[in-house]
Structure 1
Amino acid sequence: MLSVGLTGGIGAGKSAAVRLLAARGAVVVDADLIAREVVEPGTPGLAAVVAEFGPEVLAPDGSLDRARLGRLVFADEERRRALNALVHPLVARRSAQLQEAAPPDAVVVHDVPLLTENGLADRYDTVVVVDASDATRRARLVGARGMAEADADARMAAQATRAERLAIADHVLANDGTLADLDRQVAALWRTLTEMRVARDGPGPG
């Protein structure tokens, strides 16, 4: 089994790269989906968040009001760290469980938006960064997602810089071009990851 950490700044096209890898046989572990799962109603994770931030972070149906919680933590680094301290261990535990459940000859791609920011590179056998220029990312956020330019800039500024992400990369997918350009790079990356997996573990069953 090969464990791959994949990340990229907002608007870089990380989700597209993950879909292309999944289509080639990667087992995908999505940190964002897990982060939602571990604070669903009735979970210890949600109880811990409510104990820390108060019942006002709950929606009327008892689920987590993500927008309200986001407003509380976005501009307050201490509150954001408190939230991360609650949620990140739960996400890490569940991610490990999903990796352990994968076939022994799998290439497991962990889709982790804040891999760089949270210093997680050492958890994986290799790290892939989906990279695009700030101008490209801003144009995608404004054009495709309908964000105001100021909001796009604020979201980008809240993340690691391109240089910080590239500093931890073992492999880079340059995604300033078309989906076809990205697909060609993913095809080459998939060959490399498969070769790495075979070198580690042998050919595997079949």
Structure 2
Amino acid sequence: MSVEKLYESENFLVVNKPFDMYINSDDENEKNTVTCHIASPDSHMSSSAYPLHFVQRLDYSTSGVLCIAKTKGAAARAGRLFEKRETRKYYLAVVRGHVNCEVADIEFDVGVDPLTAHSSHKMMAKVSSASECTESRRAHTRMLVLETGLYDGDPVTVVLLKPITGRRHQLRVHCSAIGHTILGDYTYSNRLDNSPHRMFLHATR
């Protein structure tokens, strides 16, 4: 899989990140990264000659639009927009089950699962006062139902997700918390959903 260029200007590069690819890595032997693909002579991207400043992050399993700044100044300006929530991000997802509403606001706090605090740093939603997650912070996701159907005979729903806040794994945690885990999300399905070839979460904008 290759990294597709969607837009390029003097200050920014916007690419389509494939699923199951890291953004970057401290391991010099890891070549399956956006950074390595852009630096490749075959990429034909002028930004391969400049240091890359990732304005946003996408999980390894998530595909879609990724904004990269070519300079520290551009990165700082874009970062301020994200920090002030003056940007709009949208994701398409396929979730397990049929969601029985048209629009939903999911507002569970998101924190660290204490059982994984020293390993994978899996997150969890604080669905009640008895929830044991640590370092929880306010989190808000808006969900719009687009279509219902079947995947391999099982009910699924196509949804548009808008993260109002930006917590780690927020969309995946929130979908799981309402009983509609994202299709192919091995981590937040308690390692049960391992048959699809990918996790069905894509950053569209």
Higher relative contact order (CA 8 A, sep 6+): 1
**Structure holding more helix per residue:** 1
| Superposition TM-score, scaled by structure 1 size | 0.25
| Superposition TM-score, scaled by structure 2 size | 0.25
